[in-house]
Structure 1
């Protein structure tokens, strides 16, 4: 009888232990799933963001480049990459700023549009947000009405008037002369009109002809479509033996407001701020000086200006 009583007690004790363990287990499971009060744990449910949600670190800063043919910027045919002084500066500044920058090629007219006889204006690419900035554009009176600019990182090239080699045309009298201009460039017919010391500098509509490329300008000059061209004194013009510069060496640049910069929209101030901050560091650390003084070593096989002409402060 005593043995039966002990057995019953043991069975009851085991039952109580089992029930207690079960209750504790249920409570623990409930708490781990966040149903308990006080320290609820978050439930990891993936909620996709909007399709346009990009963190600042992920943003790709698109910068347009639109000119090949000098040591400032050219297409390396072996690597098929854009190289030159301009890309070197862009790469260095973006690296210091820890920004993901991409160079994209587009025609100049999509950054700054100009048509013969019409006031120049912002191009559809930059105005439309296809990219964040256009690289290597000088600051002019007209452009500053439309765009913001970073600090200049390159000296603006000189402006010149060229005629066909062997020509006897004077530079200071353009009366009844047809003048060729590079479409989208700063040195257009409105710039030329600022030279009041040149007779006939205010051209009639029929005297103004725009061309899309330097090659077409040279071709037009040599085949008689135009009498002279009014352009930047770049390497491809300076070294072309079919051309003759008829302006004097001290020919003034009356259209310049600031050197070559990144041109961007007025509603993109963040770009200007981080670029300027990073460019200041580039200069302070001596990297700007290094890029300038090695430009011939890295890009000397391409015609262009020496670093004393390209860089600011030399």
Structure 2
């Protein structure tokens, strides 16, 4: 038998002492176990806090990264150099500069506002319609839109100030073996953006036989159609689309370049056109092309042949009007 104490004289005292000793040992062991459990709980709790902190840091980092990418897309957005957000969130670009100068010459107060491009124009069953925003007077004009035969039946336009053309875009490697130089496109399915002048009617005017068309709500939708095989070709005013192949052939769907698109009967062109001609005669308009190329780091060049017709800036990159968000213009009397 184990004795905790040996100084007791009687057996009863020894038994009591051993019982007390046993109780003390049990209490000590229990206390140690409880302390270990508490330490383990504290450790696990701390570990959980560390994991939560790490996850929070990762989430915050991802959110900030997505925000930076979103801001970067705005800065280098689909309408650069025409209209896009700078680092401070201001709308800037060639269209903004043109509007500002023409309005200043005309003595008008003009405000730049943003809207979905379908508020300017959209396509339904291959018919081009004016957008709700333009028709309802939410704004007065949509700068940078192509003048075309079918649009002339629905809109008025100012004098043109941009050269424009159209191109054919395919998936990488041109899996459908599309050739823009042939005249019969019957075997191919074309995608075009809603409201764009690059549509079935334009191909008809180009003496191209085509019968299969799908309308894309926006550029990402059109890109997806090419990549998933819904469409073989995207017919658009764009010269650069990430992840797709732009064929070198160029055609014209316009009837005189790009201009400020107006609601039918709008009086805006009555003061805009004289002011724009003043800007052009002063030489300032011609200077805007190379200045904008440097200012906005984009390929805006001066096309002298088109300049004689009233507009000279052309862009070797993207279309002025194809974007999820359009710059529109509201005019206020001074």
Instruction: Report the TM-score when normalising by structure 1.
Output: 0.67
Matched, 1:138 2:146: yes
Mapping for residues 22-33 of structure 1, pairs under 5 Å: none
Provide the residue aligned with 2:128 in structure 1. 120
Provide the residue aligned with 2:161 in structure 1. 153
Superimposed CA distance per residue, residues 136-174 of structure 1 (whole angstroms, 9 cap, x where no aligned partner): 111111111122111111112x21111112123222342
Larger helix fraction of residues: 2
Cα distance 1:77–1:288, how it changes in 2: closer, same or farther (>3 A)?
closer
Provide the residue aligned with 2:37 in structure 1. none
Looking at structure 2, the residues matched to 128 and 285 of structure 1 have their Cα atoms a distance apart, in angstroms, of 36
Is contact 2:123-2:195 (8 Å) kept? Answer: yes
Cα distance 1:169–1:143, how it changes in 2: closer, same or farther (>3 A)?
closer
Provide the residue aligned with 2:301 in structure 1. 307
Mapping for residues 14-53 of structure 1, pairs under 5 Å: none
Q: Offset of 1:194 from its aligned partner? A: 2.1
Looking at structure 1, the residues matched to 193 and 214 of structure 2 have their Cα atoms a distance apart, in angstroms, of 9
- Aligned residue pairs total 229
Q: Offset of 1:230 from its aligned partner? A: 0.5
Is contact 1:162-1:247 (8 Å) kept? Answer: no
- Flag the structure with larger Rg: 2
Is contact 2:162-2:312 (8 Å) kept? Answer: no
Is contact 2:77-2:85 (8 Å) kept? Answer: no
**Unaligned ranges ≥5, structure 1:** 1-66
Provide the residue aligned with 1:258 in structure 2. 256
Looking at structure 2, the residues matched to 252 and 181 of structure 1 have their Cα atoms a distance apart, in angstroms, of 15
Looking at structure 2, the residues matched to 68 and 92 of structure 1 have their Cα atoms a distance apart, in angstroms, of 23
Q: Offset of 1:114 from its aligned partner? A: 0.5
Cα distance 1:159–1:222, how it changes in 2: closer, same or farther (>3 A)?
same
Matched, 1:280 2:296: no
Looking at structure 1, the residues matched to 230 and 86 of structure 2 have their Cα atoms a distance apart, in angstroms, of 32
Q: Offset of 1:247 from its aligned partner? A: 5.2
Mean alpha-carbon deviation: is it higher for 164-173 or for 180-189?
164-173
SS class of match (1:114):
strand
Matched, 1:166 2:173: yes
Looking at structure 2, the residues matched to 263 and 227 of structure 1 have their Cα atoms a distance apart, in angstroms, of 30
Is contact 1:113-1:183 (8 Å) kept? Answer: yes
Mean alpha-carbon deviation: is it higher for 76-85 or for 147-156?
76-85
Looking at structure 2, the residues matched to 289 and 212 of structure 1 have their Cα atoms a distance apart, in angstroms, of 35
Q: Offset of 1:77 from its aligned partner? A: 4.3
Superimposed CA distance per residue, residues 212-248 of structure 1 (whole angstroms, 9 cap, x where no aligned partner): 22222222212222111111133x33xx3x3223353
Matched, 1:177 2:188: yes
**Unaligned ranges ≥5, structure 2:** 1-75, 314-334
Q: Offset of 1:279 from its aligned partner? A: 0.9
Q: Offset of 1:290 from its aligned partner? A: 2.0
